Amino acid sequence: MLIILDNEKELKPLVEAGVRGSKGFLIDSGIDEFPALGPSDIEKALLELANSPHHRHVPRRNGPSQRHPRRRERRPHPGPAHQLPDLPRHAPAALETYAIEEILSLAHVAPRLDLHIVHLSAMQGIPTLQEARARGVRITAETCFHYLSLAAEGVEEGDTQYKCSSPTREQANQEGLWVELQRRGSVIRSVVSDHSPCTLDSKLLPQSRPVEPHSVEGQESDFFSAWGGISGLGLGLGLGLSILWTEGEKRGLGIEDVVRLTSKNTAEQVGLDSKGDIAVGYDSDIVVFDDEATFVVGPSTMQFRHKISPYETKTLKGVVTETWLRGEKVYTKSEDLLQEAPSAGGAKAGLKTAF
């Protein structure tokens, strides 16, 4: 469920009905119905959920003007618009660390509530999270496949396929995320896709290269106006697994680590005690993964409607060949065909939940 302005009284009934978690935006979501939350909104939600078996997801803040969510002002277009490396300067790491500190300053309101920072992109937020956990604050974080595999230095001018929010940061920042991810007891418990598809028009892709420098808002190759999201699912039904395995193997990660970061930890976090492992009593959710096979990302490997991906032409290692859901095969690569999934089983009430 989503925490929005003044809906705190609706939260507990939803938890009692079986909702596993909730999410609140500290950023402007881009959708009027889901405005950013301010400190008082967060505090009211935490108080309402204080004694619930619940987990709260908190996206980081991307702009200081969004500290006042009820005042929706249009930010002047900063330009130059065609360069991705300008984006991290307009959405610096300090904005993420500020958001984390704001959440931690309110954590005492509901000390038994599990908190979770989604889509962590800035390594500068890691020490703050580490210190909080050392004090006993129940907070974790996740990062995304693209933050572990793409870097601002490798983006050509005007290639808006790379636009995401928070922005893809520098290579040194990526390495900092990897160091924490591999640390025993890491605050980064999982790696996710943050799948955010859009139409070709919304990405403002350039029609030709090289891109002519410009600062015109809404023109093609405008990183500031282009849709801020990357499609992280659906490439052979295993893009995320392939990305994590391709990059992780170089750094000494094993297949068991990939499973832990993409399945086991997530299931434990949201209280799904029949998911995340292959064992007696668990649902037969199985991915058959060829860890030696490689493939080149292209439109034919994109199992989603709008064929846009910054991974196009990149060679990835590891291919999903079959997917089984609750004991039924729902995907076979040889047929490249999705089957209708079996009906979902419910999560047990009263378990720790995440959102």
Task: Give the tens place of pLDDT for each residue, 157-187.
Answer: 888 899 988 888 999 999 999 999 999 999 9
Does 143 score more than 50 pLDDT?
yes
pTM: 0.87
Mean pLDDT of 205-229: 80
Residue extents of the structural domains in the chain = 2-230
Separation in Å, CA 60 to CA 110, 209, 255, 258, 352: 19, 34, 30, 25, 23
CA-nearest of 275, 348, 353 to 22 is 353
Note the CATH number of domain 2-230: 3.20.20.140
Considering 76-80, 88-92, 333-337, the range whose residues carry the highest mean pLDDT is 88-92
Per-residue pLDDT for 76 more than 80? no
Query: Which tokens hold the place of 273?
Result: 């005690």
What local confidence, expressed as pLDDT, does residue 343 receive? Answer: 63
Residue 147 has pLDDT above 70, yes or no: yes
User: E strand or H helix at 13, and its extent?
Assistant: helix 11-16
pLDDT in tens, 26-53: 877 767 788 888 899 999 999 999 988 7
